[in-house]
Homo-oligomer: A and B are copies of this chain.
Amino acid sequence: MITYDIKDYRVPIFTVDSVLFSVDSGSLNVLLVKRNNEPFKGKWGLPGGFIDIDNDVSAEQAAIRKIVEKTGAQPQYLQQLHTFSSPKRDPRGFSVTLSFYAMIAYQAVASQLSSIEAVKFIDVDQALKKKLAFDHHQIIKMALSRIQQKALYSMVPAYCLPNEFTMTDYKNIIEIILGQSIQRKSLIRRVEASDMFEPLNKFEHSGRRPAQLYRLKKGIEPYHFQRNMTLSV
């Protein structure tokens, strides 16, 4: 017979938190939310909170639910980052947070956000200069270095592209994430190998020579390469 009541035990506080990235006009942004509850009421922090064990089917779903509540849109990519745990990170007691990093196209959320005071995208370097709630500074730092790594060996940055985009759009996103320029030719070779983009019968006419428009193929897994791109020192 199973006899177990969680209320008989002293258990940690368990939460989820997400670092939602988006690229816009030359800067890599993360979503911050102004807290209107204790602890750290009034401070900026990551979107997240408790699992609703009666309605959520997983921690991932809880994290996505929190992002949807704040932005009105689903992230295009979301993965576990790391679990941070300590008796000190929350004044209420021993706390564990499962953090995620996620990506979304800026265009998918920009309009909704402009009307909400307490939710905003902010340049990641600016965010890291602020006094944030909990250990969210550390979480953002780890998420940043994770997506920078991913940018070197995967197509994951493609998940913050809008529906239609050019190769230059994609190159810009990677360069903004890395903070360094890369070889266009190398990128194109990788995109071809990944087979993740499909060309549309459309061109973008903003520059001089029109640029081929692409979209992400449907139902495809993020491609991982065998090698990292090399960053020139």
A binding-site residues for B, Cβ under 8 Å: 1-4, 6-7, 9-14, 38-39, 50-51, 53-54, 57-60, 80, 82-83, 85-87, 91-94, 96, 98, 226-228, 230
> Quick one: copies of this chain in the complex?
2
Measured between beta carbons, the chain B residues less than 8 angstroms from A86 are 57-58
User: Which residue of chain B lies nearest to A58 when distances are taken between CB atoms in the complex?
Assistant: B85
Asked if A94 meets B51 with Cβ closer than 8 Å, knowing A57-B87, A82-B80, the reply is yes
Instruction: Report whether A53 and B227 are in contact in the complex, using a CB–CB cutoff of 8 Å.
Output: no
- Min CB–CB distance A30 → chain B (angstroms): 21
Asked if A38 meets B80 with Cβ closer than 8 Å, knowing A51-B12, A227-B226, A227-B227, the reply is no
25 contacts between A and B (CB under 8 A): A1-B38, A2-B92, A4-B92, A6-B13, A7-B7, A9-B50, A10-B54, A11-B13, A11-B14, A11-B51, A12-B14, A51-B96, A53-B93, A53-B94, A57-B86, A57-B87, A58-B85, A58-B86, A60-B85, A80-B83, A85-B98, A96-B98, A226-B227, A226-B228, A226-B230
